Amino acid sequence: MYKLFLERIRNRDGEPEVYIYDEFPEAFRNQVFYIMADVLDQYEGYGGGLWGYMHDTFSREKGLKKLGRHDQGLERYNVETYTNVSSQEDFLDLVDYMFHLFDVGCRDIHPQYNYDLDTNALVDKAVEELNYRFKQHNLGYEFVNGEIIRIDNKMIHQEIVKPALRLLYEEGFDGAEDEFRKAFEYRRKGDNKNAILVAGKSFESTMKTICDKKNYTYDKAKDTAETGLPVVRNKTSGHGQGSTIEQISDEFAEYALNLAATNIVLLVGIYKRGR
């Protein structure tokens, strides 16, 4: 039996977030249906069609007779209806289930009249677009290793990013908090250069705010951080790119965001303890 997403999800703890978890806009639902159709339409003649198989097996898991009002042979329309009108939780279960079966099943099944189709590439493209759409709509989920996970299930996000947001909010570091959230917004849009740049600003704003709260003397116009995150920023985002367009990898952007969060947790924690 397949354990559906709602059976795996952890309870939320109410901490501030940079991602959305409980609202899936109409545009995202439509995009997901298009992605599913890109895969399942390839198998229209396979054993009566994979739309029917996916529809019936998911209905069984959810304890339903069918997902819409149409009878056998029109399961595609039932799935479309369910995609449009199901609750947020039920919709996420559908996406999780469908893409799980794509990942573990469709890679090894070739369409009846298209044996030359690269099914691995077909599934990879579907998964890649799904994860892109999650980012596009600022949704805190990712499809990894055959299932959907909440991004805050990742240790770094849970243990570092969320505490950084909470500390900035609780301690009144408004400028640094705003910049930290903007850095994630740039990352969501795929603008890794500005994500790194603004992550560095949030780190420096945290230091300057601490100096202001402690009445330390410093030059607000010239004094900046020198090591760690600023080095990453300067190497990737802080200078002109020259005659060719530089592409900053996702890994560097994620590293910069996580490093900024780590630095913020350290600095604000020390500040709180020393008050």
Burial class (CB in 10 A: 0-12, 13-18, 19+), 178: middle
pLDDT band at 11 (very low <50, low <70, confident <90, very high): very low
Burial 61-71 (b: 16+ CB within 10 A, else e): eeeeebbbebe
pLDDT in tens, 120-133: 999 999 999 999 99
Query: Which of 35-44, 105-114, 204-213, 227-236 has the least mean pLDDT?
Result: 227-236
The model's confidence at residue 242, banded by pLDDT at 50, 70 and 90, is: very low
pLDDT tens figures, 137-153: 889 898 887 888 777 65
Which pLDDT score is estimated for 223?
60
Q: What is the pLDDT of residues 48-67, one digit of tens each?
A: 578 889 999 999 999 999 88
pLDDT above 70 covers what percent of the chain? 80
How far apart CA 195 and CA 263 sit, in angstroms, is: 16
Per-residue pLDDT band at 243 (split at 50, 70, 90): very low
Per-domain residue ranges of the chain:
5-151, 154-273
Give the pLDDT band (50/70/90) at residue 94.
Answer: very high
- d(CA 165, CA 200) in angstroms, rounded, equals 15
Its sign, for the CA torsion 186, 192, 193, 198, is positive
In this model, does residue 14 exceed pLDDT 70? no
The mean predicted confidence, pLDDT, of the chain is 81
State the amino acid at position 186 in one-letter form. Y
DSSP 3-state assignment of 69? coil
- Helices 119-136, 174-188: inter-axial angle, 10-degree rounding: 150
Phi, psi torsion values for 208, nearest 5 degrees? -65, -35
Residues 239-262 have a mean pLDDT of 73
Q: Are 84 and 25 in contact (CB under 8 A)?
A: no
What are the φ and ψ backbone dihedral angles of 143, each rounded to 5 degrees? -95, 115
- pLDDT tens digits for range 187-236: 877 788 898 999 999 999 999 999 988 888 877 666 665 655 655 555 55
Question: What's domain 154-273's architecture?
Answer: Up-down Bundle (1.20)
The total number of residues written for the chain in this structure: 275
**Is the pLDDT at 83 greater than 90, yes or no?**
yes
Res 18: pLDDT = 66
Q: What's the confidence (pLDDT) of residue 235? A: 55
